[in-house]
Amino acid sequence: MLDQSWLEAGSDGEDQDKLFLRLKSATSCSENQLQALLKSSPWHRWQPQLEGIKQAVARLNALQAAHELPAPIDRFCIAVRRDAQLKIQIDKDKMTAHVAVVADWGGEPLTLDRLQEAMAAAGVTVGQNPDLERQAVAMMHHAQAGSEQVLPIARGIPAKNGLDCRFESLVETMADRVLKPRELDNGRVDLRDLGTLTTVQAGTPLLRRHPATQGEPGVNVQGQPLPPKPGKEMPLSAGEGSEISASNPNLLVALRAGMPRHDKNTMVVDNLLTIKSVDAKHGHVEFNGSLIITGDVEPGMKVKASGDIAIGGFVESAQVQAGGHLAIKHGAIGHRTTDHKAFTCRLSAQGNLTVAFAQYASLESDQDLLIQNQASHCYCRAGKNLIVGDASGRKGTLLGGLAIANDSIQAPVIGALAANHTRLQVLGGYFALHSREQELTQEKGEIQAMLGKMQTLLIKLVKLPQEKRDRALLLRLKEQREHHMTHLKEVNGALEELQDELTAVLGTIHVAATVRLYPGVEVELADRLYKPQIEHGPCRIQIQEGKAVLQPWTPPAKAGH
């Protein structure tokens, strides 16, 4: 009768970690029966040896068939004892280390000492986590024999990149007061009292520069330092009507009285002119400074200012050009010129442009273009974002015409039920970036071809007998090769940076209709085209996996929620 008395563990030498089945009599037996005997024995955790089990069963069945008794040598290894096996795995970026463990087969389990010795041997010297180590050991103590686990045990410390230089405004400008206005109960905006916009006196602090930071270095799990990427530095410069403080090189102060206005890396203090309206009686207006018009700009008139312009009324078939921001409390209305190639109402701003509504007008902003109610059959161009609608995102329509933006276009309703052709383009600088990418790729190929020719020539020279080699030519070729390899490295770096920028552009440019999108709208995102065939509810068109796709739009979470 087959029982556990047939089992004997090896005691020394090669047999020390083996379990044997010693045949005591001729009895029939199956592999399953022998496996069951092993599982119910004190050696149940040992690793079964299938070949030994097969041989033992075959021998028993042969003895029974021949009516013979087993010989003293009839002993078969049916299980072995194995210690836990472990290997330290370090990720490619060397920021995380894992331990790959095969649980023991009745041998020594994973221990803290063994784990730490293996980590030290693999060069893991940073980011060890005693809690993770203990968890790994505990988990493998309870793991099924022979099971495999890959468990984290150490994490490097990533470098903290530096912060870019930033500028803190110390005074309110028209952009702050007018272009980010209060919302009234009816959803419209309040441009406030245009006659009481902030002015400053000489010596008033205007702008504070916060220098870029260097960041904090990190270290990978093998103790190799990771340098941080320093923040981008920008100099503080004095603008017209301002100067850098004599006592603080990071502080800009007013040099004269006037109206403050943001400019690149500086703040300008403009002279300020306030007039009631611009009409044929008053004449065209051109002013070096900021301008406040409390009334309307009549048809045929031209207004130009080097600074900000705030208009409290309407602009009708007139031209308004601001070197800073442009804010129009009411609407901008025009019509097509007789040749149908342009509009009689043309607005432009090097800063933001804000208007309540626009119809048959040209609106161009180097920054954001903000239209509170409706843009109808206009030409719109925004250097950053084109946003139509009130603060709630429920009211506002972008209808007909051509709208171009660098970053995004958003409106509650885009298009209309009637077949109005509305063209939208969000380009993100893609074509310039793509053209530069092609130039760099071509340059890279030319350098590689040149290096290949040099390498061929160098090999030929080196193969020549010593006395026939042109040493001057050989030295010159090596120097040229080093030069080209350095240049190739620079081109590869520029190409990689450019490709990252392209990826970022394609991942962020979008068009959003927060209430409804109608067919008849044509959307261009970089070089991808999307034409909705049916009416859609709130949606967002963006680039995914190289294609312009439409997805549901959800409002961004409010701060504090």
Instruction: Indicate the angle between helix axes 50-66 and 31-39, nearest 10 degrees.
Output: 120
Choose the weakest-confidence range: 72-76, 213-217, 382-386: 72-76
The winner for highest mean pLDDT among 39-53, 125-139, 354-368 is: 354-368
Q: What is the mean pLDDT of the chain?
A: 89
Q: Span 242-248, mean pLDDT?
A: 95
The DSSP output letter for 128 is B
pLDDT confidence of residue 411? 96
Q: Which residue has the higher pLDDT, 472 or 100?
A: 100
Residues forming a β-bridge with 256: none
pLDDT confidence of residue 197? 64
Burial grade of 287 (CB within 10 A; 0-12, 13-18, 19 or more): middle
What whole-number distance in Å separates Cα of residue 8 and Cα of residue 140? 27
pLDDT confidence of residue 124? 93
pLDDT confidence of residue 65? 85
193 pLDDT band (50/70/90 cuts)?
A: very low
Note the pLDDT tens digit of each residue in 277-326.
999 998 999 999 999 898 999 999 999 999 999 999 999 999 999 999 99
177 pLDDT band (50/70/90 cuts)?
A: low
Q: Maximum CA pair distance of the chain?
A: 132
Q: Span 452-467, mean pLDDT?
A: 86
Note the pLDDT tens digit of each residue in 417-455.
876 789 999 999 889 998 999 999 999 999 999 999 988
| 3-state SS assignment for residue 59 | helix
Cβ proximity of 352 and 179 under 8 Å: yes
Cβ proximity of 302 and 319 under 8 Å: yes
Q: Name, in order, each residue with C-beta under 8 angstroms of 380's C-beta and a sequence gap of 6 or more.
A: 358, 363, 364, 369, 371, 386, 401, 402, 403, 404, 405
Q: Span 87-96, mean pLDDT?
A: 94
Q: Name, in order, each residue with C-beta under 8 angstroms of 196's C-beta and a sequence gap of 6 or more.
A: none
Tell whether the model's pLDDT for residue 399 goes beyond 50. Answer: yes
Q: Span 124-151, mean pLDDT?
A: 90
470 pLDDT band (50/70/90 cuts)?
A: confident
pLDDT confidence of residue 170? 94
Choose the weakest-confidence range: 131-140, 171-180, 309-318, 391-400: 171-180
pLDDT confidence of residue 531? 92
178 pLDDT band (50/70/90 cuts)?
A: low
pLDDT confidence of residue 557? 66
pLDDT confidence of residue 188? 47
347 pLDDT band (50/70/90 cuts)?
A: very high
What whole-number distance in Å separates Cα of residue 260 and Cα of residue 271? 9
| 3-state SS assignment for residue 112 | helix
What is the domain partition of the chain in residue ranges? Answer: 4-80, 85-155, 166-268, 430-508
Q: Sort residue 180 into left (φ over 0), alpha (ψ -120 to 50) or beta.
A: beta
